Amino acid sequence: MARPDDNSSDRAKAVVIMAAGLGTRMRSATIKVLHPVAGRPMIDYPVQSALELGAERVVVVLGHQRERVEASLRATFPDAPLEVAVQAEQLGTAHAVLCARAALEDFDGDVFILSGDVPTLSTATIAALDAVTGDAAVGVLGMRLDDPAAYGRLVEENGRLVRITEYRDASDAIRAIDRVNVGVYRADARFLFETLGQLGSDNAQGEYYLTDIVAAAAEQGRGTACLVLDGEAAADACGVNDRVDLADAEQRMQRRLRAQLMRDGVTLIDPARVTLHAGVEVGPDTVIEPDVSLLGQTFIGPGCHIEQGCRISDSRIEHGAHIKGQSHIDQAHVGAGCQVGPFARLRVGTVLHDKVKVGNFVETKKATLEAGAKASHLSYLGDARVGPGANIGAGTITCNYDGVNKFRTDIGAGAFIGSDSQLVAPVTIGDGAFVGAGSTITQDVPADALALSRPRQANIAGWAERRRARLAAEAEAKAEAAGERKD
Ligand code: UD1
Ligand code: CA
């Protein structure tokens, strides 16, 4: 139901997204709409907008690589009212929408038509088109461009949109028009499907042009409307055709995401040097230094400090954590008040409880370090649990892999592992146990025991002194022999 302060139509909404074309100018083995912008396939953006608009049906028209595109969409939007219409041969945009007719046979209301390749277009702009279109049969989103290039031209008479003429079909006078077609529309469902069935393809490209519904509506007196964007809004409405456009869309999206974080209370010291994926969340008073990438489904709590050069993907960092420079964190959970890095690598399945310290050149994988545990230098902890307050000395390695299978290491609360130890899994170090430096541990260590596994040290008195004397004597003898030969 429409709210009183909401002037959008309260009619039922369906969305058709055109995404059957390959996107030849991308010069890619991957269909254009699967190329990512801010970490998400381009096609996700119009689908997201459709859901935000409150569409009860979303029909995606697919052709090239349709199995791949559908699989991607189903994984990202498992519960959305998404339907796929197949356009096996791309005969033009009108034909694409006609392919969605069967899916919308019993639908009565407004059909929004979006393109799969305009990721930076905001939902608010589509809602504005809805409001401007009102009772008209067709509403067209337009934009004013200094260089209108090959976009379809909006031809207006007496302030009314009467048709859209494709660049290739346009006279010089029409080409001079700088108000052009974005490729986003709202149309009355019945008018749309009746009209599409009657369109011909008598044009420069021999294609069925969706844009011809505008002339049909004007001729039938059914009413047309257009919302023409300018400036930044127009730039956001430009689609992606090649990789130059892709980079442009990426930059626009990055600026938007960074600005949102800063408005939410996050400090970005040099915003242009932070890379964000759509959906990343960061709490207030967190400081992010330059050259940081926050990727995938990443959540950073409030009051954290992320130093220069960190790459954090699909991870959760709780409040007050300090991630020092050049650390890589992937699919990990870092508890409140932890200190990580510099140069730490937390891999999949790492869980750091609160106030854990993981220092430089430490790698972890499927490792849980419980509250207050420390691994400050040069270690590998894989398939391991480190109990609360335990201390892992420099150079400790969990030997978790025998070339075939992985095994677990369990280190008890308050245990102390001396430097340069190898813990050959499966192995358990009991609570409060000590492992002497340089040990290779192959058997469980009971709680509170000391384990040593290295040869006992032997000191040979005076050995070094005698060695130096012997070497000096040998050198002297050699020099004398050389002198005699010269004489
Ligand atoms: C279209 C518009 C043009 C507008 C421009 C904006 C027409 C006739 N022209 O031209 O006025 O300025 O978009 O970018 O509509 N697609 C299909 N099946 C097809 C053809 C296209 O799914 O048979 C999809 C494409 O994958 C793409 C979108 O529709 O996502 C637009 O197609 P494209 O070929 O880029 O249209 P343009 O020629 O650029
Ligand atoms: Ca296009």
Please report the pLDDT score of residue 173 as a whole number: 97
How many C-beta atoms surround the C-beta of residue 373 within 10 A?
28
CB-ligand 1 contact for 209 (6 Å cutoff): yes
Average pLDDT, the chain: 96
Nearest CA owner, ligand 1 atom 36: 93
CB-ligand 1 contact for 65 (6 Å cutoff): no
Number of domains in the chain: 2
Ligand lying closest to the C-alpha of residue 21: 1
Query: What residues in the chain have per-residue pLDDT under 50?
Result: 1-5, 7
Output the CA 241–ligand 2 centroid distance in Å.
6
- Rounded Cα distance between 260 and 284, Å, is 12
**226 and 275 part of one domain:** no
**18 and 156 part of one domain:** yes
Q: For the chain, what is the radius of gyration of the CA atoms?
A: 33
> Looking at the domain assignment, is residue 253 inside a domain?
no
> Looking at the domain assignment, is residue 359 inside a domain?
yes
* Residue 220's CATH number: 3.90.550.10
Ligand lying closest to the C-alpha of residue 142: 1
**28 and 123 part of one domain:** yes
First to last CA, the chain: 115
Which of these, 113, 152, 125, lies nearest to 233 by C-alpha position?
125
> Which residue is catalytic, options 64, 277, 328, 377?
377
Contact 61, 17 (CB under 8 A): yes
DSSP track, 418-435:
-TT-EEESSEEE-TT-EE
Output the CA 116–ligand 2 centroid distance in Å.
10
> Looking at the domain assignment, is residue 254 inside a domain?
no
**387 and 440 part of one domain:** yes
Q: What pTM did the predictor assign? A: 0.92
Nearest CA owner, ligand 1 atom 22: 20
Range of the domain at 411: 267-451
User: What is the DSSP-derived secondary structure letter of residue 387?
Assistant: -
Please report the pLDDT score of residue 487 as a whole number: 67
CB-ligand 1 contact for 97 (6 Å cutoff): no
**43 and 127 part of one domain:** yes
> Looking at the domain assignment, is residue 241 inside a domain?
no
Please report the pLDDT score of residue 374 as a whole number: 98
